[in-house]
A and B are shown apart, each in its own frame.
Chain A
Amino acid sequence: MLRLARRINERLHRYMAVPALALFAVFFVTPLVKGIRISLTDWNGLAPDYHYVGLSNFIEFFHDDRAIHALKVTLTFGLISPVLLCAAGLLYALLLDNRLRGRGAVRTFVYLPAIISPLIMGYVWLLLLNSENGALLEVLKIFGRESVYRDWLGTPDEALWVIIAVNLWQFVGYAMIIFLAGLQGISADVLEAAKVDGAGYWTSVRRIVAPLLMPAIRINVITNLIGSLGVFDVITALTDGGPGYSTESMSIYIMRSSFNGHTGYATAVAVLMFLVILIPVSVALRLMKQADQDG
Chain B
Amino acid sequence: MSYTWSAASKRWIATIGAAALAAGLLAGCGGNGGNGANEGQASGEASTSASSSSNPSAASPSSSGTEASKPVKLTILNGTVEAVDWLNEQIKTYTAQHPNVTIEQEFQKSASDVLKVKIASGDAPDIVALAQVPQEFYDQDLYYDFSGETALWDRLTNASIKSSVSDTSRPEKQFYLPMTVSYTGLYYNKDIVAELGIERPDTWEAFTQALQTVKDKKNDVTPLYLGGKDSWTLGQLVQYLPLGSLQQELGIEEANKALIANDAAKLGLDQTGGRIETFAKALMDFKAAGLVNKNGASASYDNQLDAIAGGKAAFVIQGMWALSDILKKNPDANIGFWPIPALMAGDKPYMIGSPDGSVSVSEKSDNRDEALKFVDFLVSADVQKSYSTLRNSPSVYKDAEADWSILSRDVTADLDVAFVASRWPWTPSGYNSDSIGRTVQELLVDAYKTPADFAKVFKDNWDKGYTTAG
Interchain CB contact (< 8 A) of A46 among B136, B294, B430, B445: B136
| Chain B proximity mask over A150-178: 1 for CB below 8 Å, otherwise 0 | 01011110000000000000000000000
Q: Given the interface contacts A131-B299, A242-B438, does A2 sit within 8 Å of B229 by beta carbon? A: no
Binds B, one of A103-111, A183-191, A217-225, A257-265: A257-265
Q: Whole-angstrom distance from the CB of B120 to the nearest CB of chain A?
A: 6
| Least CB separation from B8: chain A residue | A9
User: Is there contact, CB below 8 Å, between A261 and B430?
Assistant: yes
Q: Which residues of A contact B136 (CB under 8 A)?
A: 46-47
Instruction: Give the interface centre of B136, B438, B442, B444 by most chain A CB atoms within 10 Å.
Output: B438
User: Is there contact, CB below 8 Å, between A259 and B470?
Assistant: no
For chain A residues 20-54, which have a beta carbon within 8 Å of chain B? Answer: 42, 44-47, 49-51
User: Is there contact, CB below 8 Å, between B438 and A44?
Assistant: no
Asked if A294 is an interface residue, CB under 8 A from chain B, the answer is no
Asked if A243 is an interface residue, CB under 8 A from chain B, the answer is yes
Asked if B297 is an interface residue, CB under 8 A from chain A, the answer is yes
| Chain B proximity mask over A40-83: 1 for CB below 8 Å, otherwise 0 | 00101111011100000000000000000000000000000000
Asked if B184 is an interface residue, CB under 8 A from chain A, the answer is no
Asked if A125 is an interface residue, CB under 8 A from chain B, the answer is no
CA distance A98 to B40 in the complex (A): 65
Q: Which residues of B contact A262 (CB under 8 A)?
A: 430, 467
Interchain CB contact (< 8 A) of A132 among B13, B120, B299: B299
Q: Which residues of A contact B299 (CB under 8 A)?
A: 131-132, 154
CA distance A6 to B6 in the complex (A): 7
| Least CB separation from A151: chain B residue | B295
Asked if B469 is an interface residue, CB under 8 A from chain A, the answer is yes
Q: Given the interface contacts A242-B231, A245-B438, A261-B430, does A46 sit within 8 Å of B10 by beta carbon? A: no
CA distance A151 to B119 in the complex (A): 42
Q: Whole-angstrom distance from the CB of A245 to the nearest CB of chain B?
A: 6
| Least CB separation from B114: chain A residue | A259
Instruction: Give the interface centre of A6, A49, A239, A244 by most chain B CB atoms within 10 Å.
Output: A244
User: Is there contact, CB below 8 Å, between B120 and A45?
Assistant: yes
User: Is there contact, CB below 8 Å, between A261 and B113?
Assistant: no
Interface of A, secondary structure class, is: loop
Interchain CB contact (< 8 A) of B303 among A6, A50, A130, A244: A130
| Least CB separation from B440: chain A residue | A244
Number of B interface residues at 8 Å Cβ cutoff, please give it: 41
CA distance A153 to B468 in the complex (A): 35
User: Is there contact, CB below 8 Å, between B9 and A260?
Assistant: no
| Least CB separation from A130: chain B residue | B303
Asked if B271 is an interface residue, CB under 8 A from chain A, the answer is no
CA distance A153 to B465 in the complex (A): 27
CA distance A277 to B438 in the complex (A): 27
User: Is there contact, CB below 8 Å, between A5 and B9?
Assistant: yes
User: Is there contact, CB below 8 Å, between B467 and A243?
Assistant: no
User: Is there contact, CB below 8 Å, between B447 and A156?
Assistant: yes
Asked if B441 is an interface residue, CB under 8 A from chain A, the answer is yes
User: Is there contact, CB below 8 Å, between B297 and A242?
Assistant: yes
User: Is there contact, CB below 8 Å, between A243 and B298?
Assistant: yes
Q: Given the interface contacts A132-B306, A240-B229, does A2 sit within 8 Å of B441 by beta carbon? A: no
| Chain A proximity mask over B1-20: 1 for CB below 8 Å, otherwise 0 | 00000100110110000000
| Least CB separation from A64: chain B residue | B464
User: Is there contact, CB below 8 Å, between A131 and B429?
Assistant: no
Asked if B61 is an interface residue, CB under 8 A from chain A, the answer is no
| Least CB separation from B303: chain A residue | A132
Q: Given the interface contacts A260-B429, A261-B430, does A154 sit within 8 Å of B297 by beta carbon? A: yes
Asked if B228 is an interface residue, CB under 8 A from chain A, the answer is yes
Asked if B134 is an interface residue, CB under 8 A from chain A, the answer is yes
CA distance A133 to B117 in the complex (A): 39
Asked if B439 is an interface residue, CB under 8 A from chain A, the answer is yes
Interchain CB contact (< 8 A) of B298 among A42, A133, A154, A241: A154
User: Is there contact, CB below 8 Å, between A46 and B298?
Assistant: no
Q: Given the interface contacts A156-B447, A240-B231, does A2 sit within 8 Å of B120 by beta carbon? A: no
Q: Whole-angstrom distance from the CB of A125 to the nearest CB of chain B?
A: 13
User: Is there contact, CB below 8 Å, between B442 and A47?
Assistant: no
User: Is there contact, CB below 8 Å, between B469 and A153?
Assistant: no
Q: Given the interface contacts A50-B470, A242-B231, A245-B438, does A155 sit within 8 Å of B445 by beta carbon? A: yes
User: Is there contact, CB below 8 Å, between B430 and A260?
Assistant: yes
Asked if B98 is an interface residue, CB under 8 A from chain A, the answer is no
Asked if B456 is an interface residue, CB under 8 A from chain A, the answer is no
Q: Given the interface contacts A9-B9, A244-B445, does A49 sit within 8 Å of B295 by beta carbon? A: no
Asked if B287 is an interface residue, CB under 8 A from chain A, the answer is no
CA distance A132 to B465 in the complex (A): 34
| Least CB separation from B444: chain A residue | A243
18 contacts between A and B (CB under 8 A): A6-B9, A9-B9, A44-B468, A46-B120, A47-B136, A132-B303, A132-B306, A133-B303, A242-B297, A242-B298, A243-B298, A243-B442, A244-B439, A244-B445, A260-B430, A261-B430, A261-B467, A261-B469
| Besides A242-B438, A244-B297, A244-B439, 18 new A-B residue pairs in contact (Cβ under 8 A), listed by A number | A2-B10, A5-B9, A5-B13, A6-B6, A44-B470, A46-B137, A49-B470, A132-B303, A153-B298, A155-B445, A240-B231, A242-B231, A243-B228, A243-B298, A243-B438, A244-B441, A261-B469, A262-B430
User: Lowest 6 A-B CB distances belong to which pairs?
Assistant: A154-B298, A261-B467, A244-B442, A243-B297, A131-B295, A243-B441
